[in-house]
Amino acid sequence: MVPLFALLAGGDALTNVRTWTRDGKHPERGRALPEAADSERTMTTDLHIRGLSGALGAEISGLDFSRPLSDAARASLLAAFHRYGVLCIRDQKLTRDSHIALAKLFGTPDVHPIAMGMAEHPEVIEVRKPAGERASFGTSWHSDNSFFERPSSVTILYGDSVPAVGGDTVYASMERAWELLSEPLKQFLMPLRAIHSARTAFDPRTTGIEKYEGRAAIQYAYSDAIYEEVEHPVVRTHPVTGRKSLYVNPMFTQQIVGLSKAESDGLLAMLHDLSTRPELTCRLRWEDGTVAIWDNRWLQHYAIDDYADFERLMFRVTIAGERPV
């Protein structure tokens, strides 16, 4: 069995971000999440923030994405994003244009080579799940589009119409997973690279030919991108924070380069197991008008399929990222 260290204290490159508790205690620095209990509200500039778990994630109030953000609000939003990894902002009314405008705060929107965007807004994927059908988009652990040569860095998902219960999204911190590893295992993983491909997730034989024939609520375009392979490091460094994280996921990571299939399968299974432990996760409950923004560079996520009787309509935009290093 691989020995694991206790969770390391870690560091936070965003030392200029300050978080105050309501009672005015001294600002906390140097950690990715506040030490306050989940129920304690904190404030960065004019944003009110409540942690979603002890590992990652925050719910934010004090923002209205239907209007342009002030420079101060934008700076605070970006600081909170890099600090918490996934942000939940409720009671929003996004049009497709305002959704794209919000996305552009984080970079240039992607156009997906397989999942078809909307005709007038190709950057926006309509994620519709009809009542009486099982969900089939994102329903296993993954980091969005890690099979791209430049994987999507950020995802902005808007819940337009969602069931009263069910369909939560669970997020896992790959930074915290990295911190749990023993030093010998870290040294072994650092130089390794892994092959990522969409061939399993988007193969018509596994995902359903009806999506490629226009007979499903979400539609795919047949493309060479389904079977292309790219290599990414098993351990990546965040380009903004400088923090390290694991960068493998069950949906798109096929094999570790240089290892036999048996060795690769065993190592990946261990890393997948470790990185999705409950204490490394947070869970987001959707409501109509909820916006979720998350960082694919150090998170993976899982869309829970437990609302077959209900329809759901969401809209997704992803941001073009950089080559992982």
Q: What CATH number is attached to the domain comprising 224?
A: 3.60.130.10
pLDDT score for 42: 45
As a whole number of angstroms, the distance between CA 306 and CA 304 comes to: 6
User: Is 13 within the bounds of a domain?
Assistant: no
pLDDT score for 146: 98
The separation between CA 149 and the C-alpha centre of its own chain, rounded to angstroms, equals 17
* Residue ranges of the chain with per-residue pLDDT less than 50: 1-44
User: Is 147 within the bounds of a domain?
Assistant: yes
User: Is 4 within the bounds of a domain?
Assistant: no
Burial of residue 63 (number of CB atoms within 10 Å: 0-12, 13-18, 19+): buried
User: Is 115 within the bounds of a domain?
Assistant: yes
User: Is 39 within the bounds of a domain?
Assistant: yes
As a whole number of angstroms, the distance between CA 324 and CA 283 comes to: 26
pLDDT in tens, 196-217: 999 999 999 889 899 999 999 9
**pTM for this predicted structure:** 0.87
> What does residue 309 show for φ and ψ, rounded to 5 degrees?
-75, -10
User: Is 36 within the bounds of a domain?
Assistant: yes
User: Is 165 within the bounds of a domain?
Assistant: yes
pLDDT score for 47: 82
pLDDT score for 45: 53
pLDDT score for 37: 37
Catalytic residues: 142, 144, 301, 316
Domain of 126 in residue numbering reads as 20-319
User: Is 254 within the bounds of a domain?
Assistant: yes
As a whole number of angstroms, the distance between CA 59 and CA 214 comes to: 37
Number of domains in the chain: 1
